[in-house]
Structure 1
Amino acid sequence: MPETRPAPDPARAPTLAGGASIRRMLRARQFWEQRSLHPVARLLLVLAVGVLLCIAIGFAVSSGEFTRYDLLAVAFYAGVAAFAWHPMTAAVIVMLISSVGVVFTGSGGDLLELAVALSLVAATCAPWVIVTHAVLLGVLIAYITTSSSALAAGGVYGIVGIAVIAFLGGVAFRLVAAREAFLVAERTRLAKDLEAIARESQERIADELHDGIAHDLTLVLFHARALPRQPDEEARQVSLSTIEQSAENALGSIQSLLSMMRDTATDGPPAYPTRYEGKVVVAATSLGALLKDAGIPTRVKVPHSGLPITPAAERALTEIAIEAVTNILKHAPRTQSAAIEILARTGSVELVVKNVSPSETPAQALSSGRGLHRARQRISESAGVLVAGRTTDGWVFRATVPAVAGHVN
């Protein structure tokens, strides 16, 4: 049976709750990368800028003239609106217009607007842009303090306080946006994990159907077709016994399959793959007897001592032996003779299953089924090789796995 991954453990998933998690996020490079505004925040920003533009235009209309202050205000608001689409461009525009306003008009209002804009810069731009914005704000505050009296007493502290609040607000917004992105990514990861677990469960069910029920039903079908042609009563009894035993095994496999699907234990017999307990020698002997009972003279040659291979490699060889014998019964019922051999060579162990059949056997049915495809995958995990193909008088399945020094099953 294929190994399954454990279900995702919610306790292991990272969380954003707690100061330690926030500190980890603040130190993460991804957190400080340039990011776009949330669609809702983008809409609110555009609406707010629209209201400010309407107010600025209203003042200009009421005064009867459009001054350079009004022009700078409109340009500044347009730059703020650009944060909805291009934060970097918007930050450059805002810093440039604010610098022009402070230097050429000496207006403290431009400093205040630049301080407030720090919230958008902190929420969307890269760290170097945030630092540039803060440094520029400090330079302009120093400039206007030393060159004019546009700021009232204590005005510097007010602008610095507003800038700090704006920066913290921008970082808070970045935290909220990053948390939402994290939750979306986590939800996507969990969905993929659940899909993978579902696929693995489907694979387990398919393997159970193939390894157990399909094999037993193949025996039932083979002997049911052969029963009317049996030459004597003894052969008929062998077929009847095989049909009965195979039907019972299939029923046990179904019960095991239902138990696996419900994740509960049943009192029925275990699934088919455990019938030979993963021992290829036991499987070869039993499968040889099955072929003989089916009227196919079969030669079985197995070593008397343990095999120097890993349990995974032995399970793979067992699957290949089962698959080969099942294909003989299913696709080559007129087989004249068969052989199952396990050869312990220097540095490797080889399983050979071959048959002699007078009829043409569909190559596709024997070489591209689910069982052989999966067996090839399993044996490749143990650095082994499986070859299945036609010979001059039948078919041969040859699987080779490397021996493991000092390891005997």
Structure 2
Amino acid sequence: MIRSRRFWEQRTLHPVARLLLIAAVVVLVGVAVGFIVASGEFTRLDLLAIAFYAGLAAFAWRPSTAAYIVMLISSIGVVFTGSGGDLLELAIALSLVTATCVAWVIIAHVVLLGALSAYVATSSSTLTQGGIYAIAGIAVIAFLAGLAFRLVAARETILLAERERVEQDLEAIAREEQERIADELHDGIAHDLTLILFHARALPKQPDDAARQLSLTTIEDSAEQALQSIQSLLSLMRDTATEGPESHPTRYDGNVVEAISSLGALLNDAGIPTRVTAPRTPLSVTPAAERVLTETAIEAVTNIMKHAPRSQSASIDILEHGDAMELVVTNLAPSSTTPSDSPASGRGLKRARQRLAQNHGELESVQMSDGWTLRATVPAPVDETH
């Protein structure tokens, strides 16, 4: 820590240390004023003493400026009065300089103290024999005291930074948990609730008993699936397994081809004629990419039923392009549909775009004059056998 450049940056005094310093300066000024009143005269030594104390007080706000003032006044006092007291004060002030100032100011203070000590030692002074060693000892003690204050301040800074980092990590964990819950709500419940709403609205308009029975069955199945999804969500929030049967967050746990076939049948049952095409051979994509294609198809179909329930037709296609796999979902909307009803918009597709990006894929939504088209593309794995 001591070897780092950041350790020797300028620092401010701790608020408590600042108050103690101001209190000490007030006491020193009071003593100086008492001596002035007792002697009945105001000398240049008194002026230098009060100026020196003002320099000490400046360490509470402007450490570098205070260090210059202290060094200047002490130099004047030593050179023009030959007072060993000024030298002693300069040695004591080294503690404040070490605690607050940058490295080169500390070095300048030490060099000045050494030069003035040598000057006093080689000239007539009021220092007693061996007094120069006492000044050196006091300077060492002051330096160590200032270094100790700097270490405490640096450690406090590190602890505060660590606490801030921990708070940021906890906030990130909380946001991630919120996103997980939002994903569970959207993926596990919104789709089923959309089906329930769609068929509940269509139920009074069904032309025969068979169509009404289909809507009732769909509502029942979707409600049961939504209940299981809620149980899964509660398990996620409590971070423990819920009692009862195991829940399944989605009914499309198979591959993407099976999923789009089920989704096509769902749209057909909802009265939207839908064409589904997919390769007969297994898809050459990773399980993660296939899962995100399935999620994108679910989102697109849900949006069609939610935002364009009167669509004239729809299509869901899986296309292979050699180095990529493409999911294309298209719906033909009636001319009365407004752009705000676009099934190619919403937060769900934004999340799908993010998930595709994590798998190096892309999502494109295009609004046309007679409908909307969504294209989700993921790269096929590179064949490393060649």
Q: What amino acid does structure 2 have at the position aligned with 1:307? A: L
- In the TM superposition, what is the alpha-carbon distance from 1:271 to its structure 2 partner? 4.6
- Kindly provide the CA deviation profile for residues 333-392 of structure 1, in whole angstroms up to 9, marking residues without a partner as x: 222322110001132211111122325334334343110111122223333322223334
Q: Is the 8 A contact 1:278 1:314 kept in 2?
A: no
Distance 2:297 2:19 in 1: 67
Q: Which of the residues 126, 139, 142 maps onto 1:163? A: 139
Is residue 185 of structure 2 the alignment partner of residue 198 of structure 1?
Answer: no
- In the TM superposition, what is the alpha-carbon distance from 1:278 to its structure 2 partner? 7.4
- In the TM superposition, what is the alpha-carbon distance from 1:180 to its structure 2 partner? 2.2
- In the TM superposition, what is the alpha-carbon distance from 1:149 to its structure 2 partner? 4.4
Equivalent in the alignment of 1:383: 360
Q: Is the 8 A contact 1:253 1:269 kept in 2?
A: no
Q: Which of the residues 183, 196, 211 maps onto 1:235? A: 211
Distance 1:252 1:359 in 2: 38
- In the TM superposition, what is the alpha-carbon distance from 1:150 to its structure 2 partner? 2.4
The change in CA–CA distance for 1:198 and 1:364 in structure 2 (over 3 A counts) is farther
Q: Which of the residues 323, 346, 349 maps onto 1:369? A: 346
Is residue 356 of structure 2 the alignment partner of residue 400 of structure 1?
Answer: no
Identity across aligned pairs (percent)? 69
Q: Which of the residues 323, 330, 333 maps onto 1:354? A: 330
- Kindly provide the CA deviation profile for residues 115-172 of structure 1, in whole angstroms up to 9, marking residues without a partner as x: 1000000000001111111111111111111112422222122111111111111111
The change in CA–CA distance for 1:294 and 1:269 in structure 2 (over 3 A counts) is farther
- Kindly provide the CA deviation profile for residues 63-119 of structure 1, in whole angstroms up to 9, marking residues without a partner as x: 121122111111111111111111111111111111111111111111110110000
Distance 1:239 1:145 in 2: 106
- Kindly provide the CA deviation profile for residues 290-319 of structure 1, in whole angstroms up to 9, marking residues without a partner as x: 122223222111122333334443333222
Q: Is the 8 A contact 1:115 1:163 kept in 2?
A: yes
TM-score by length of structure 1 reads 0.88
Is residue 222 of structure 2 the alignment partner of residue 246 of structure 1?
Answer: yes
The change in CA–CA distance for 1:176 and 1:40 in structure 2 (over 3 A counts) is same
Q: What amino acid does structure 2 have at the position aligned with 1:399? A: A
Distance 1:304 1:283 in 2: 14
The DSSP-based 3-state class of the residue aligned with 1:95 is helix
Distance 1:314 1:27 in 2: 54
Distance 1:272 1:292 in 2: 23
- Report 1:128-139 matches (<5 A): 128-139=104-115
Q: Is the 8 A contact 2:196 2:218 kept in 1?
A: yes
The change in CA–CA distance for 1:378 and 1:288 in structure 2 (over 3 A counts) is same
The DSSP-based 3-state class of the residue aligned with 1:27 is coil
The change in CA–CA distance for 1:329 and 1:201 in structure 2 (over 3 A counts) is same
Q: What amino acid does structure 1 have at the position aligned with 2:363? A: L
Q: Which moved more, 1:387-396 or 1:127-136?
A: 387-396
Q: Is the 8 A contact 1:298 1:337 kept in 2?
A: yes
Distance 2:86 2:305 in 1: 90
Is residue 106 of structure 2 the alignment partner of residue 117 of structure 1?
Answer: no
Q: Which moved more, 1:83-92 or 1:220-229?
A: 220-229
Equivalent in the alignment of 1:289: 265
- Kindly provide the CA deviation profile for residues 198-253 of structure 1, in whole angstroms up to 9, marking residues without a partner as x: 22222221221111211001111112222233333333332222111111110011
Is residue 25 of structure 2 the alignment partner of residue 74 of structure 1?
Answer: no
Distance 2:154 2:302 in 1: 56
Is residue 6 of structure 2 the alignment partner of residue 30 of structure 1?
Answer: yes
Q: Which of the residues 122, 129, 144 maps onto 1:153? A: 129
Q: Is the 8 A contact 2:277 2:317 kept in 1?
A: yes
The change in CA–CA distance for 1:278 and 1:125 in structure 2 (over 3 A counts) is farther
The change in CA–CA distance for 1:112 and 1:271 in structure 2 (over 3 A counts) is farther
Q: Is the 8 A contact 1:349 1:403 kept in 2?
A: yes
Equivalent in the alignment of 2:183: 207
Q: Is the 8 A contact 1:308 1:405 kept in 2?
A: no
Q: What amino acid does structure 2 have at the position aligned with 1:283? A: A
- Report 1:53-68 matches (<5 A): 53-68=29-44
Distance 1:170 1:164 in 2: 10
- Kindly provide the CA deviation profile for residues 7-40 of structure 1, in whole angstroms up to 9, marking residues without a partner as x: xxxxxxxxxxxxxxxxxx2222222100111222
In the alignment, structure 1 segments of 5+ residues that lack a partner are 1-24
Distance 1:395 1:332 in 2: 10
Equivalent in the alignment of 1:258: 234
Distance 2:172 2:345 in 1: 24
The change in CA–CA distance for 1:88 and 1:248 in structure 2 (over 3 A counts) is same
Q: What amino acid does structure 2 have at the position aligned with 1:387? A: E
- In the TM superposition, what is the alpha-carbon distance from 1:268 to its structure 2 partner? 4.1
In the alignment, structure 2 segments of 5+ residues that lack a partner are none
- Report 1:172-187 matches (<5 A): 172-187=148-163
- Point out which structure has higher relative CO (alpha carbons under 8 A, 6+ apart): 1
Aligned length in residues = 382
Q: Is the 8 A contact 1:299 1:338 kept in 2?
A: yes
Distance 1:137 1:156 in 2: 11
Q: Which of the residues 104, 107, 111 maps onto 2:80? A: 104
TM-score by length of structure 2 reads 0.93
Q: What amino acid does structure 1 have at the position aligned with 2:191? A: H
Equivalent in the alignment of 1:272: 249
Distance 2:134 2:95 in 1: 16
Q: Is the 8 A contact 1:49 1:80 kept in 2?
A: yes
Q: What amino acid does structure 1 have at the position aligned with 2:75? A: S
The change in CA–CA distance for 1:68 and 1:271 in structure 2 (over 3 A counts) is farther
The DSSP-based 3-state class of the residue aligned with 1:387 is strand
The change in CA–CA distance for 1:121 and 1:296 in structure 2 (over 3 A counts) is same
